[in-house]
Chain A
């Protein structure tokens, strides 16, 4: 009984993750400019991956494997947003202005 529940849950998470990644991918291609695309990308590598990892953890149950997976998830939580930030910052530095949006004074290149 418990096993089934876990199984179903994990599959839901895996599928969800997959969908998010897919959506992110589509977003990457379809969205107009760099910043919005980055938005889609960050969606992929936070929510998507987290769901998938969670799903696998449920599959693995309580074991060394899932602890490792947890660690990975933790690191992703840290690195993903940072990377996105750095990228956006660099873009701004090198003068990519977001479409139809007025920059705040202090960020004017």
Chain B
């Protein structure tokens, strides 16, 4: 069998098997090198897969050559290709440029274990993205969750521990809910394979358990995705995790949960539950809108940079969900594109934050005052990424805002509300990003912002790569938009 045919498996196997090697290895630098190499390789594989998907369409890989539904199959189409790009890209970039920052925050003789956990988290997220089997999703969800708890708990101060515990409890409850849902579906269909479920649910005469299953799965995944009322774990986790870790998980972890949510709700349930589109819209849209409003509002008054960005993430998750809840092609395209673009923006922002944190005494807005003069490159990149978050034309953020608004305007009454909310939250975004930028450039330097110098060049370079990616995909949005449209087609094939 050719190497190309093995790519789907390798996507998971490479990071998954590098991790145990790291446990055997000693020495932080060696571990870092190995982990980075693995991530980069994973990214390369992801790119190759994306190209293949674009050329030949859906790729299927049977684990152990057992045909689905008896064995586990990996399925890769436009949607998860995009998700894979985000995950692996984020990991590769953050690891490449994050070494110094991590070494500063974590006890050196534990770094090897830390990198191992990081790789496992990466493999878990990628595993969720590629698999076509409902239970396998659970397994890899737990892999990624456990690993994520570890790398979050690595945070320097004690709040990291409590944040981790909260996340651990809520995450496990979410996963268990998902497991219950899968169990009920399995009970009624006798299969665990997405495609097979999709085919068989239609035949199920009594739909009650399926409805309940849909409820459990949606709630469980919403917990993982930090959808509005269930977002309480997110701010602390993002705030107290090591900065580089924040950049990594902010870019991808919630996205993956949303990906599964979309796949399950649209592919498995959409076509088979009567009035599902309506239910989906009427349950999720209000939550999305509330999330957007409240997230943005809190961010406006937040005084700590990371916390501010974390709450903005809550709002952004709302955007993605809102797009999906329209259950229209335009809507889902917008949602998925935003999934991608928000990853770009937040990744860049948190990387910049990490860069600031390496030189400044703290991350409250007061601490970063005037850093724009002492750390011009970092500050400029932060401003650029911020522009993307706000949605200034020419940046990636604008593309998704545009798509989202135009999708909303198709919707009629709900759409008008959505438009109003989106506009309001964009204004809020302007305000909270501006508060940051104003402090950076026009604030009078206090504390050690005066003496601060640029962080190691690798970090700055990484920040800039991420920031420029925002511009590039703002001007050439062909790739994400194309893949997302394909994804939307795939997800909506059940709609009349």
**A adjacent to B, CB under 8 Å:** no
**B: which residues have CB within 8 A of A?**
none
**A: which residues have CB within 8 A of B?**
none
